[in-house]
Amino acid sequence: MEKKELLYEGKGKRLYKTEDDEQLISVFKDDLTAFNAQKIGNEEGKGALNCKISTQLFHLLESYGIKTHLIKTIDDSSQLVKRVDIIPLEVVVRNIATGSLTKRLGIKEGTKLPFSLVEFYYKDDSLNDPLVNDEHCLMMGLVKSESDLEELKRLGREINSILKKFFEQRGLNLVDFKIEFGVDKEGNILLSDEISPDSCRFWDIKTNEKLDKDRFRQGLGGVKMAYEEVLKRILEK
C-alpha cells in the first residue's frame, strides 16, 4: 500500500491517504507532548515501540470480539487502518486515582476506586479537552444518540476488563487509559487511534514504578526504557 498525501497530523501520529479511499496509513511519531502540548520533547524509537504495543493490544482485543480500525502493520512504526469518522470524545477509564482525578476531587493518589470510572472528554485543544457529561455530549451533537453514549461506556468497561486482567498477569496495574472510537462507512463503532504508554498509565504491581508517559510529564527520565519494559511484558507468554 503506497503512502499518498498527508491527511492529518496529531500529537502522536500522522495519517496519510492511500490509493484506497477507505484505508489510511497511520505513522507513529517519536514526539512527546504533555499538558496540551505545553511541554514538548522527542524520544528516538518511541513511535516504533508504541506501534508495536498498540498492534499487540488491538489484536488481543480483537480476539475477544472488540472491533478495531486496524488492518495490519506495515513496518516498525506504521499501520494500515480503516478510514473512520472519529467521534470527538476521549473515553477515559480509571481504576486507580491519579492525575486530574486527584486534583479535581481530592482523592488520594493511589486509591483503588470501588468500581471502574468512565469519563468523557471533549476533543478540542483550544478548550484543553474539557470533561463533559452525557447531557453535554447530546446537546453539542458529539454523538448521535444516548444509545451511542451507552455503547461507548460499555466498550470502555469491556476493554478495561480485558486489559486489566491481561496486565495483572504480567505484573502491571492498569491505572487508567484513554481510548478513541470512530465510525466506519457501514456505521460500525470501531476502536481507533492507539493504546500505548502514551495513552495509558502502567504501575509495576510490586514497586509502583511508573512505566508510561508520566515519566516525561514528571521529568523522571527513562521514557524509552519504560516503554520497552511494557512491550517486553506484553510479549511474555
CATH number for 201: 3.30.470.20
Residues 114 and 76 in one domain: no
Residues 94 and 201 in one domain: yes
Could you tell me if residue 232 is inside a domain? no
pLDDT score of 180 more than 80: yes
Residues 98 and 151 in one domain: yes
CATH number of the domain to which 24 belongs: 3.30.200.20
Residues 109 and 171 in one domain: yes
Tally of structural domains, the chain: 2
d(C-alpha 56, C-alpha 36), whole Å = 27
Three-state DSSP class for 26? Answer: strand
| Contact predicate 81/184, CB 8 Å | no
Q: What was the pLDDT predicted at 41?
A: 94
Tell me the H-state helices in 8-145.
46-63, 99-105, 134-139
Q: What was the pLDDT predicted at 1?
A: 76
Residues 56 and 148 in one domain: no
Could you tell me if residue 14 is inside a domain? yes
pLDDT score of 237 more than 80: no
Average of pLDDT values for 102-128? 96
Average of pLDDT values for 97-107? 96
Q: What angle do CA 181, 183, 185 make, to 5 degrees?
A: 155
Residues 104 and 168 in one domain: yes
**Domain range for 143:** 85-221
| Contact predicate 98/112, CB 8 Å | no
Could you tell me if residue 229 is inside a domain? no
For residue 54, give the nearest of 199, 219, 210 by alpha carbon: 199
Tell me the pLDDT band of 36, cut-offs 50, 70 and 90: confident
Kindly report the average pLDDT of the chain as a whole number: 96
Could you tell me if residue 32 is inside a domain? yes
d(C-alpha 160, C-alpha 17), whole Å = 31
Q: Can you give the length of the chain in residues?
A: 237
pLDDT in tens, 149-172: 999 999 999 999 999 999 999 999
Average of pLDDT values for 20-24? 96
